[in-house]
Chains A and B, each alone.
Chain A
Amino acid sequence: MAEHQRFPSEVASFIASCIDSVEQVEILLTLRSDRTRHWTVEELSRGQHSSVHSVHLRLGRLIDSGLVAGEGSSYVYAAPPEADELVRRLAELYADRRTAVIERIFSEPRDPLQSFADAFRLRKEVRDDE
């Protein structure tokens, strides 16, 4: 797809390393929209229309990536400047080209060995991201 070629590679790498769900993007962008505010899981889950458990999971990942900080039982946006720039670009892309971003999130980075082994399948299944 032509769009894939124009998808900025830094954002693509950022997504590949830190983002594995759409919900995560939405939570991240929500937190970023009001940086000084401390959000509780309940507030976020209401905004996301998803379970507290799920939001908890996403926040955990975001904390591991260093984008969010947990303080007590609330969470705040905490990305350092370079990461923040990537998140900003992600936010722009998400607003403009949401489908492309979602596709990127779901296209898994392929393990080379697995690709090698899969090459020998004579009847290929159509992959979502090809």
Chain B
Amino acid sequence: MTTYILRRLIHAGLVILIVSLLVFLLMRLLPGDPILMYVTSGDLQAISKEQIEHLRNELGMDKPLLVQYFDWLWHAVQGDLGKSLLHRYNVLQEIGRRLPITLYLGLLSFVIGCIVGPFLGVVSAVRRGTWVDSLVTLLANLGITAPPFWLGAVLIFVFALQLGILPVYGYTSPWINLGRNLQQSLMPVLVLATFPTASSARQTRSSVIEVMRQDYIRTAWAKGLSERVIIVRHVLKNALMPVVTLQGMMLRNIIGGSVVVETVFGIPGMGKLVVDGMLSQDYPVVQGVILIVAVTVVLSNLLVDVLYGWLDPRIQYE
């Protein structure tokens, strides 16, 4: 087990290294000179060509790409992700300020997706062919198709503009005002949770139906066990495996979704940071955010794999 986790950790490190190289190269291929971005955010008139070259040298942008990459990586490992070109803030500190907001909303949505989705899926599979099943299936299919930005607009229109019961946008820390935080988080979390809930409901439904066809379930019925015992003890245990696999990808999708949701609801999280960084070609910011996102995703996948072995004793770690 320990060697397995160790091997997976090395693998995770390799993946993160590849992501960092990929993102670094992509950002450096962006059209436009980042140094001009740096300069124009200050005072372009007062600066001469020599000063620009001096600045380029100072920021290390005149070195070969690979050298720049290893410089950046070396600093990143030591916890220094550089400074924003536009606003000059420390990228890691800024991410540290915004990551908790994204994770707070993301994890709430994740938990909702993990509980409500499988629950609906089981109910729908057990009551297969009834109106409950049709309703859940329809909702699940709609849930995986609704564009998050549009769903956000619909919710804002109904609950904030028409009914006036929820604030349109903004974010308040739960430590400062919990009530306000919950009010403001309700719609974003609902939008973020829609896709995970819908897709795990679909996945659970199909795998529960698959398991219910197995011989051992027929045996359980024949033994005269109650429906509850059969579902909870025999069906669920076997049907939840593919759902757990799905959850690994889910966190990645929630973080991806937060890019859109934070823009719609004006939430100062990582998603908003990366979109703003992208629009202003502030590459240290974008690089930093993607690196942190990749680390989060890779580590959560690792967690899912370990969890998998715990859930399914048939899996042997070599």
> Is the A/B pair a real complex?
no
Q: Which residues of A contact B (CB under 8 A)?
A: none
Q: Which residues of B contact A (CB under 8 A)?
A: none
